[in-house]
Amino acid sequence: MRTVWEDTVGDDDRAVLERGTARELDPAPDVLVVGGGIVGLAAAALCRRAGLGRVNVVETQTLAWGPSGRAAGFLAPGLHELGDPAPFVALARVGLAVHRELDATWDGALGLHDVDMDVMGIALPQQAEVHPLRLAAAYARRAGAVVTGVAVTGVDTAGGRVARVHTGAGDITPGALVLATGLPPAYLDFGPASRAGLLDVSWPSIKGHLLTTEPAPFRLEVSPGGPHIGVRQLPDGRLLAGGTLDPDDHEPDVRDDVVAGLREEMVALVPGAAGLSIDHAWTCFRPGTPDGLPVIDRVPGLENAWMSVGHFRTGLLLAPAAGRAIASWITSGERPPELASFGLGRFA
Ligand SMILES: Cc1cc2nc3c(=O)[nH]c(=O)nc-3n(C[C@H](O)[C@H](O)[C@H](O)COP(=O)(O)OP(=O)(O)OC[C@H]3O[C@@H](n4cnc5c(N)ncnc54)[C@H](O)[C@@H]3O)c2cc1C
């Protein structure tokens, strides 16, 4: 079940995503980010950019091994203007704006392509697309010290603060902790106040399928979207279609019937795709929340711990907006106004 991204990522980017040994573990960083998906990597890079000092990312596997490296790669706030709540649309627009600003500052390192989309006859000009692994590698290069293959296994709190973080490679005493673990890990016990806030919420994990075709002998002028899926064309001509929403399927396997349905929807949007063979089909899981919006908040009851989790369908898009806002919150001690709608308290 290899993804097209694994087969097309550059060797330098691949090396960056696999880098980082326990030797790089900083026992006392100013900011410790748990989770090396796109949300954690962007948060780390933006904390460094905000001048927050030594930043350490700890990832249990390799960087972006999960949905962050397997997603479709649309950065399309326009899709959310079609019905999502205004604060979410605003954050999504900031997400694309920050990606663009950083891509320009870093000489195109993020690899953003501008693209026009057409979703069921509605034109969405000036959206963007990325190679998810290239995006993750670009943020990882700027994320500070990165440790892979090491899990955070426990947290000690004292006086309303995170005092010590236990990992498989030793303990860490961070100034601030940022939890970017996709979903909050239920086995991390942050004490009674946080436990109630975090564990009373249901955190669904929603599977999706994606596919690519062999390179098409034509170029799409716009990336078309239907009621359920979007189609984009990769630089080498392949068409990518995704992602389905498969809420009742909890196994990671690719299902032939779902791929057949996805292919049918792709052909309805791009009739010229009918004769193309499928060369990759894969799945991944979206980290969800009860209302489908992320939780970007301070961990309840703790002064120096934040979480950026439940990014569901838009983690690639929102990652730098969330990261910049958390960096600002750590710096100022004040919640940035754009995060007012993304607190955990909304589920109380
Ligand atoms: C089919 C599909 C298509 C999608 N398409 C898009 C798209 O086009 N655009 C878009 O913006 N979004 C898209 N998404 C959504 C996007 O993939 C997710 O929102 C995003 O990847 C979430 O990123 P994350 O960093 O929060 O989580 P993850 O990628 O899951 O990263 C969290 C990391 O934390 C690590 N971790 C967890 N616990 C610990 C621990 N205790 N110690 C150390 N490390 C730990 C995990 O190993 C993991 O690597 C799509 C998702 C799916 C399923």
How far apart (Å, rounded) are the C-alpha atoms in residues 162 and 156?
6
- Which CATH fold would you assign to the domain 4-71+136-202+291-347? FAD/NAD(P)-binding domain (3.50.50)
How far apart (Å, rounded) are the C-alpha atoms in residues 212 and 5?
10
Distance 215 CA to ligand 1 centre (A): 27
How far apart (Å, rounded) are the C-alpha atoms in residues 217 and 220?
10
* Ligand 1 touching residue 37 (CB < 6 A): yes
* Ligand 1 touching residue 69 (CB < 6 A): no
Position 210 scores a pLDDT of 98
Pinpoint the residues of the chain covered by CATH 3.30.9.10.
205-287
Distance 38 CA to ligand 1 centre (A): 7
Residue 18 CA: distances (Å) to CA of 2, 12, 130, 280: 16, 10, 20, 22
Give 203-258 pLDDT, tens digit per residue: 999 999 999 999 999 999 999 999 889 999 999 999 999 999 999 999 999 999 99
Residue among 288, 285, 270 at smallest CA distance from 184: 288
Position 45 scores a pLDDT of 98
Residue among 6, 9, 169, 140 at smallest CA distance from 63: 140
* Ligand 1 touching residue 60 (CB < 6 A): yes
What tokens appear for 172 in the block?
């860490």
ipTM over the 0.95 cut-off: yes
- Which CATH fold would you assign to the domain 205-287? D-Amino Acid Oxidase; Chain A, domain 2 (3.30.9)
* Ligand 1 touching residue 34 (CB < 6 A): yes
CB contact burial 43-55 (16+ within 10 A = b; e otherwise): bbbbbbbbebebb
Helix (H/G/I), strand (E/B), else coil: 163: strand
**Ligand 1 atom with least separation from CA of 68:** 21
DSSP string, 196-250: HHHHTS---EEEEEEEEESPPSS--SSEEE-SS-EEEE-TTS-EEEE---BTT--
Is-contact 25 172, C-beta < 8 A? yes
Position 194 scores a pLDDT of 74
DSSP H/E element including 113: strand 113-119
Distance 274 CA to ligand 1 centre (A): 31
Number of neighbours of residue 223 by Cβ within 10 angstroms: 25
For 230, list phi and psi in degrees, rounded to 5: -125, 155
Residue ranges of the chain whose pLDDT lies below 50: none
DSSP H/E element including 257: helix 256-269
Residue among 290, 325, 332 at smallest CA distance from 307: 325
| Residues near 303 by beta carbon (within 8 Å), at least 6 away in sequence | 160, 161
* Residue to substitute in 3, 4, 38, 258 for testing ligand 1 pocket (most ligand atoms within 8 angstroms of CB): 38
* Residue to substitute in 25, 39, 150 for testing ligand 1 pocket (most ligand atoms within 8 angstroms of CB): 39
Is-contact 298 325, C-beta < 8 A? no
**Ligand 1 atom with least separation from CA of 65:** 49
Amino acid at the residue 226? G
Helix (H/G/I), strand (E/B), else coil: 280: strand
Position 70 scores a pLDDT of 98
**Ligand 1 atom with least separation from CA of 66:** 29
* Ligand 1 touching residue 38 (CB < 6 A): yes
| Residue of minimum CA distance from atom 33 in ligand 1 | 35
Distance 287 CA to ligand 1 centre (A): 7
| Residue of minimum CA distance from atom 30 in ligand 1 | 182
DSSP string, 285-304: EEE--TTS--EEEEPTT-TT
**Ligand 1 atom with least separation from CA of 308:** 26
Distance 36 CA to ligand 1 centre (A): 9
DSSP H/E element including 161: strand 161-167
Pinpoint the residues of the chain covered by CATH 3.50.50.60.
4-71+136-202+291-347
Strand partners, 166: 154, 171
Q: Give the sign of the dihedral formed by CA 282, CA 287, CA 293, CA 298.
A: negative
